[in-house]
Amino acid sequence: MAATQRPAAREALFAPSGERPLWREVPSWFVIGAEDRIVPAGLQRFMAERAGARHTLELSGTSHALSVSRPQETANVIREAAALRVPV
């Protein structure tokens, strides 16, 4: 993964979300890698709170690729979200 991924562009983290960002309307769940060096955990916490996340799970010792390093925890949050079947 490291061989094919490039660093995040500043614009990806700070550009405006547009007139109707989906995070305002679509329910969200967050899984945060506490040691993420691409999107800092503090910024992810802010985004989760701003979006009104229904559930936020922060995994200690994980990086940006937490779905690879901690697949079970990540899948559990996805299952939780899918079980609610919230209409969009």
Within 10 angstroms of residue 20's Cβ, the number of other Cβ atoms is 7
pTM of the model: 0.75
Task: Compute the radius of gyration of the chain from its Cα atoms.
Answer: 14
Strand partners, 29: 55
Reported as a single tens digit per residue, the pLDDT across 16-28 is 778 888 888 889 9
Place of tokens 């901690």: 70
Q: pLDDT tens across 44-82, in order?
A: 999 999 999 999 999 999 988 999 999 999 999 999 999
For the chain, domain boundaries = 23-84
Evaluate whether 53 touches 30 at the Cβ level (below 8 Å).
Answer: yes
